[in-house]
């Protein structure tokens, strides 16, 4: 029975089971195997596919194609599974292995985020008369996490090596330049800059690992958006003033986000820090707060260098920088937006970006919260600009 027909809808049925009750039992067994998430195959000697359940076919473990031609007969799609079956046939012992297999033809790589493999745990057991049973469990998620961890450790080591190497060289240069106070001063200043960057990198790494589930999530509390914005305005005053950048808060007052104040301040501060870092002098950064479609929307809009569409897709990844040289020059770690994304996700919200190169960018956080009370719907501008004249008018000649 190298059949094709019985493989179409549900798993292949046992031909011997012809009697009424037995037949019912056969159907029940086949339906049960089809209900499993694991792929199940039974192979006859010569690797003829005697049975393949629904998952085995969805995973692309079997195919009727041979070198692009439809043969009309089901065969195993992956040679590694054929070799395993043969080994088990010969040794008579069960084998368990973990593998990464190419995705079945026809699976859209867009749906997998560009991943062209899937991870499987395969268990192959000998049956009678040279038959073998193959069970294939999808463990893609565990493999993906392991890969991400490996890449992360490699990236962190690389990122730490750069400032540490710079510090070693600069301190040697400083020792050599002790007789020349001007040069010594220059080296000391660069040591200060690099050690600050190193410090920021370490604290952002710690922040990221906390956000990624190292610690239990704090109980969400109602957090005033007005307070978040005021705190961020306070923190970014110095950086904005150094570039003569004006920060303008606009939008609704009295909004509430359900979450953790410290994290929300960090997320907004990271967006504002970037808006300042990637904008030229004498420009405006706007922080806008509003209640849109049952969510609090907090946007940071700049008139800066903008982000190309291909970079917009990747900037929320750890250590991804559109322009590594510029990011280093501004003391960037490449972790700011990854932290923002984690905070948004941990709060049950999202962060998104729209941007035009040469014109500017708009980053928007959409977070669960509550709308303002009827009486507090006022424009921000007037009140906060009064309280925070120094920030709104930072360096603008007042
Ligand atoms: P970094 O520490 O490098 O700023 P982030 O994770 O905060 O790291 O940002 C990642 C990259 O996204 C930056 O290196 C930069 O290329 C780009 N980026 C972020 N914010 C902006 C912005 N407001 N304008 C232009 N580019 C930005």
- CA geometry: angle 247, 277, 349, nearest 5 deg: 75
Cα 178 from chain centre: 47
pLDDT, tens only, 170-226: 999 999 999 999 999 999 999 998 999 899 899 999 888 888 765 667 788 999 999
- Read off the tokens for 172: 């040697």
Q: Please give the Cα distance from 190 to 167 (Å, whole number).
A: 8
Q: Quick one: pLDDT at residue 228?
A: 98
Task: Report whether pLDDT(145) > 90.
Answer: no
Task: Report whether pLDDT(2) > 70.
Answer: no
Name the residue of 302, 315, 333, 360 whose CB sits within 8 Å of the most ligand 1 atoms, as the mutation to test its pocket. Answer: 315
Task: Report whether pLDDT(298) > 50.
Answer: yes
Q: Quick one: pLDDT at residue 388?
A: 46
List, in sequence order, every residue forming a beta bridge with 362; answer none if it has no partner. Answer: 301, 354
Instruction: Give the fold, CATH level 3, of 219-396.
Output: Heat Shock Protein 90 (3.30.565)
Which residue's alpha carbon is at the smallest distance from atom 20 of ligand 1?
274
| 276 three-state secondary structure | helix
> Structurally, what CATH architecture does the domain formed by 5-17+32-138 represent?
2-Layer Sandwich (3.30)
Q: Please give the Cα distance from 91 to 84 (Å, whole number).
A: 11
- CA geometry: angle 354, 359, 362, nearest 5 deg: 30
Looking at the chain, which residues constitute the CATH 3.30.450.20 domain(s)? 5-17+32-138
Confirm or reject CATH 1.10.287.130 for domain 141-215, answering yes or no. Answer: yes
Ligand 1 pocket, 302 CB below 6 A? yes
Q: Please give the Cα distance from 63 to 49 (Å, whole number).
A: 10
Ligand 1 pocket, 301 CB below 6 A? no
Which atom of ligand 1 is nearest to 304's Cα? 24
Ligand 1 pocket, 322 CB below 6 A? yes
Looking at the chain, which residues constitute the CATH 3.30.565.10 domain(s)? 219-396
List, in sequence order, every residue forming a beta bridge with 133; answer none if it has no partner. Answer: 42, 125
Q: Terminus-to-terminus CA distance in the chain, angstroms?
A: 89
Q: What percent of the chain lies above the pLDDT cut of 70?
A: 86
pLDDT, tens only, 4-45: 334 444 555 443 334 456 677 788 999 999 999 999 999 999
Q: Which helix (H) or strand (E) holds 325?
A: helix 324-329
Which residue's alpha carbon is at the smallest distance from atom 12 of ligand 1?
315
Q: In this structure, how many other beta carbons lie within 10 angstroms of the beta carbon of residue 129? A: 6
Tell me, in angstroms, the distance from the centre of ligand 1 to residue 317's CA: 11
Query: Is 158 considered catalytic here?
Result: yes
Q: Please give the Cα distance from 37 to 105 (Å, whole number).
A: 20
**Does the predicted TM-score (pTM) go above 0.85?**
no
Which residue's alpha carbon is at the smallest distance from atom 19 of ligand 1?
274
Q: Please give the Cα distance from 235 to 238 (Å, whole number).
A: 7
Q: Which helix (H) or strand (E) holds 41?
A: strand 39-43
Looking at the chain, which residues constitute the CATH 1.10.287.130 domain(s)? 141-215
3-state helix, strand, coil in the chain (%, to 5): 45, 25, 30
Tell me, in angstroms, the distance from the centre of ligand 1 to residue 321's CA: 6
Name the residue of 268, 274, 308, 365 whose CB sits within 8 Å of the most ligand 1 atoms, as the mutation to test its pocket. Answer: 274
Which residue's alpha carbon is at the smallest distance from atom 7 of ligand 1?
336
Q: Please give the Cα distance from 289 to 364 (Å, whole number).
A: 10
pLDDT, tens only, 90-109: 999 999 999 999 887 766 76
Which residue's alpha carbon is at the smallest distance from atom 3 of ligand 1?
334
Which atom of ligand 1 is nearest to 275's Cα? 23
Which residue's alpha carbon is at the smallest distance from atom 13 of ligand 1?
321
**Helix 261-277 and helix 336-346, axial crossing angle in degrees, nearest 10:** 150
Ligand 1 pocket, 275 CB below 6 A? yes
- Residue of 158, 193, 258, 347 marked active site: 158
Tell me, in angstroms, the distance from the centre of ligand 1 to residue 61's CA: 42
Tell me, in angstroms, the distance from the centre of ligand 1 to residue 385's CA: 27
Structure confidence at residue 155 as a pLDDT band (50, 70, 90):
confident
């Amino acid at each position: 029975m190298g059949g094709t027909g019985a493989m179409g809808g549900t798993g292949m049925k046992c031909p011997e089971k012809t009697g009424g009750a037995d037949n019912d039992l056969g159907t029940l067994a086949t339906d049960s195997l089809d209900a499993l998430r694991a792929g199940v195959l039974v192979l006859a000697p010569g690797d003829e596919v005697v049975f393949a359940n629904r998952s085995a076919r969805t995973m692309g473990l079997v195919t009727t194609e041979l070198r692009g031609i439809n043969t009309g007969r089901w065969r195993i799609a992956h040679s590694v599974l054929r070799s395993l079956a043969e080994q088990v046939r010969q040794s008579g012992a069960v084998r368990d292995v973990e593998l990464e297999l190419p995705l079945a033809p026809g699976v859209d790589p867009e749906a997998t985020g560009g991943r062209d493999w899937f991870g499987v745990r395969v268990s192959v057991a000998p049956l009678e008369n040279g038959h073998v049973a193959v069970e294939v469990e999808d463990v893609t998620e565990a493999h993906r996490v392991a890969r991400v961890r490996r890449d992360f450790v490699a990236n962190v080591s690389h990122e730490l090596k750069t400032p540490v190497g710079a510090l070693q060289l600069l301190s040697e240069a400083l020792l050599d330049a002790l007789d020349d106070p001007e040069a010594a001063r220059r080296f000391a200043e660069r040591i200060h800059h690099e050690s600050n960057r190193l410090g920021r990198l370490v604290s952002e790494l710690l922040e990221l690992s906390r956000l990624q589930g190292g610690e239990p999530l704090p109980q969400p509390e109602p957090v005033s958006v007005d307070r978040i914005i005021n705190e961020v305005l306070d923190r970014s005053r110095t950086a904005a003033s150094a570039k003569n950048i004006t920060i303008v808060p606009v939008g609704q007052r009295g909004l509430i986000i359900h979450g953790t104040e410290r994290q929300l301040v960090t997320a907004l501060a990271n967006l504002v820090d970037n808006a300042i870092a990637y904008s030229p002098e004498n420009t405006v950064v706007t922080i806008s707060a509003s209640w849109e479609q049952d969510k609090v929307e907090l946007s940071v809009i700049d008139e800066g260098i903008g982000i190309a569409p291909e970079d917009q897709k990747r900037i929320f990844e750890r250590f991804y920088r559109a322009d590594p040289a510029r990011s280093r020059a501004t003391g960037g770690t490449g972790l700011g937006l990854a932290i923002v994304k984690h905070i948004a996700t941990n709060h049950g919200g999202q962060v998104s970006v729209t941007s035009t190169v040469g014109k500017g960018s708009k980053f928007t956080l959409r977070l669960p919260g509550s709308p303002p009370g009827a009486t507090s719907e006022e424009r921000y501008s007037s009140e906060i600009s009064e309280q925070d004249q120094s920030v709104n008018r930072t360096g603008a000649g007042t």
